[in-house]
């Protein structure tokens, strides 16, 4: 890692490894929407290219790809405790539970069938899945065309839903990503309200964290550290505004800010463009998927060839 760009601080210092992933000819991604890591540190990048799920070994070599005839638009991926993947497709209005080699075990939602806008019924552009560590129940964030969280049993039966459009506690303005900690608390990235809201397993509001800008990705590590990817500027007028991201912030489960990383908007290693999916491996190394292509297009900038994925290797270890 000598010479690699370092970002973060203290035990949350990382080295940006440029070109870690070795994509073969014919493989590319426009947006790397989400990422998951299994127990063998194989990396699953859910992306919007021709090969929706690309699987890497720990050294960045491609092992396989799948989902070419299944997914419409990758958005979120979550690894379950049984080593299955929950893949959220916001354009297809579905969550699919898949084996690690891509066999579909369960589909929640009607493929291609959106519920009416803001009806509260599942789904209208769902975004992500989290699992209750005690029961295996599923929480689905829904999403762009709804302002809801839906809770499902492990076999895909809807239990209840909560949330509404707005800015008050328990209301959402693009419920974009969702995660749980080992105690079962539910963390919801309420993107355009610039906050993370925290609920119990019954959907009861507990608290919120507000010192962030457009939180897009959220991941809770085994050490109970909460990693939040902040999308940063949404308009050309504030793209150069300091201290709003794009960045990754690390919190403890009480909401104390522990570190921030990201050296400003840009394509250079250690800089970010649009953090959208985060995961850590067994060594504490961080994998970051970005929707850089979409963000650049939204800003009216050329997007061809932008970087959408980074591996950040942990330099220091938390004590």
* Each residue's pLDDT expressed in tens, for the chain with a length of 319 residues: 555 778 999 999 999 998 899 999 989 888 999 999 999 999 999 999 999 999 999 999 999 999 999 999 999 999 999 999 999 999 999 999 999 999 999 999 999 999 999 999 999 999 999 999 999 999 999 999 999 999 999 999 999 999 999 999 999 999 999 999 999 999 999 999 999 999 999 999 999 999 999 999 999 999 999 999 999 888 888 888 899 999 999 999 999 999 999 877 888 888 899 999 999 999 999 999 999 999 888 888 777 788 899 999 999 765 3
Q: What is the distance between the terminal CA atoms of the chain, rounded to a whole angstrom? A: 21
Determine the Cα–Cα distance for residues 260 and 210; give it in Å rounded to an integer: 15
* Distances 298 to 188, 200, 227, 262 between C-alpha atoms, Å: 24, 35, 25, 21
Strand 32-37 relative to strand 225-230: parallel, antiparallel, unpaired? unpaired
Cis peptide before 143 (omega within 30 of 0): yes
136: preceding bond cis by omega (within 30 degrees): no
Characterize 57-82 residue by residue with b for buried, 16 or more Cβ atoms within 10 angstroms of its Cβ, and e for exposed: eeeeebeebbbeebbeebbbbbbeee
Q: Checking DSSP bridges between strand 215-220 and strand 225-230, what pairing results, if any?
A: antiparallel
- C-alpha 123/C-alpha 144 separation (Å) is 10
Is 157 in a helix, a strand, or coil?
coil
What does the pLDDT read at residue 319? 39
| Helix (H) and strand (E) counts in the chain | 1, 27
| SS3 of residue 238 by DSSP | helix
For the chain, percent helix, then strand, then coil, each to nearest 5? 5, 45, 50
Cβ(160)–Cβ(123) under 8 Å? no
HSE-CB of 101 using CA atoms within 13 angstroms: 0
Q: Round to whole Å and give the CA distance between 7 and 276.
A: 18
Sheet holding 32-37, edge to edge: 32-37, 43-47, 53-56, 62-66
Q: For the structural domain made of 6-314, what CATH number should be given?
A: 2.120.10.30
Query: Do you know the residue count of the chain?
Result: 319
Tokens found for residue 79: 């690894």
Q: What is the DSSP string of 179-217?
A: EE-TT--EEEEEGGGTEEEEE-TT--EEEEE-SSSSEEE
| pTM for the model | 0.96
Smallest CA-to-CA distance from 229 within 276, 187, 175, 279 is with 276
Contact (Cβ atoms closer than 8 angstroms) between residue 144 and residue 163:
no
pLDDT of residue 233: 85
53-56 vs 62-66, strand pairing mode:
antiparallel
């Amino acid at each position: 890692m000598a010479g690699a760009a370092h970002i973060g601080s203290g035990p949350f210092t990382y080295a940006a490894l440029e070109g870690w992933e070795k994509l073969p000819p014919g493989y590319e991604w426009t947006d790397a929407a989400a990422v998951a890591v299994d127990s063998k540190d194989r990396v699953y990048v859910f992306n919007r290219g021709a090969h929706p799920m690309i699987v890497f070994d720990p050294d960045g070599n491609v092992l396989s790809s799948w989902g070419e005839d299944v997914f419409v638009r990758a958005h979120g991926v979550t690894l379950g405790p049984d080593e299955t993947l929950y893949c959220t497709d916001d354009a297809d209005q579905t969550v699919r539970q898949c084996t690690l080699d891509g066999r579909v075990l369960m589909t929640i939602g009607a493929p291609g069938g959106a519920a009416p806008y803001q009806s509260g019924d599942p789904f209208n552009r769902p975004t992500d899945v989290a699992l209750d560590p005690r029961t295996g129940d599923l929480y689905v964030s829904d999403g762009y065309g709804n302002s809801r969280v839906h809770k499902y049993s492990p076999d895909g039966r809807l239990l209840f839903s909560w949330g509404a459009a707005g800015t008050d506690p328990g209301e959402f303005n693009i419920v974009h990503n969702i995660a749980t900690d080992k105690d079962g608390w539910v963390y919801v990235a309420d993107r355009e309200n610039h906050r993370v809201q925290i609920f119990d397993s019954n959907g009861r509001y507990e608290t919120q964290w507000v010192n962030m800008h457009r939180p897009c990705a959220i991941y809770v590590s085994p050490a109970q550290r909460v990693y939040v990817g902040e999308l940063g500027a949404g308009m050309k007028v504030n793209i150069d505004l300091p201290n709003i991201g794009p960045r990754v912030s690390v919190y403890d489960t009480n909401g104390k800010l522990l570190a921030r990383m990201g050296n400003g908007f840009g394509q250079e290693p250690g800089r970010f463009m649009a953090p959208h999916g985060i995961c850590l491996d067994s060594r504490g190394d961080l994998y970051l998927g970005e929707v850089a292509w979409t963000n650049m297009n939204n800003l009216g900038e050329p997007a061809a060839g932008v970087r959408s994925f980074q591996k950040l290797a942990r330099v220091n270890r938390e004590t």
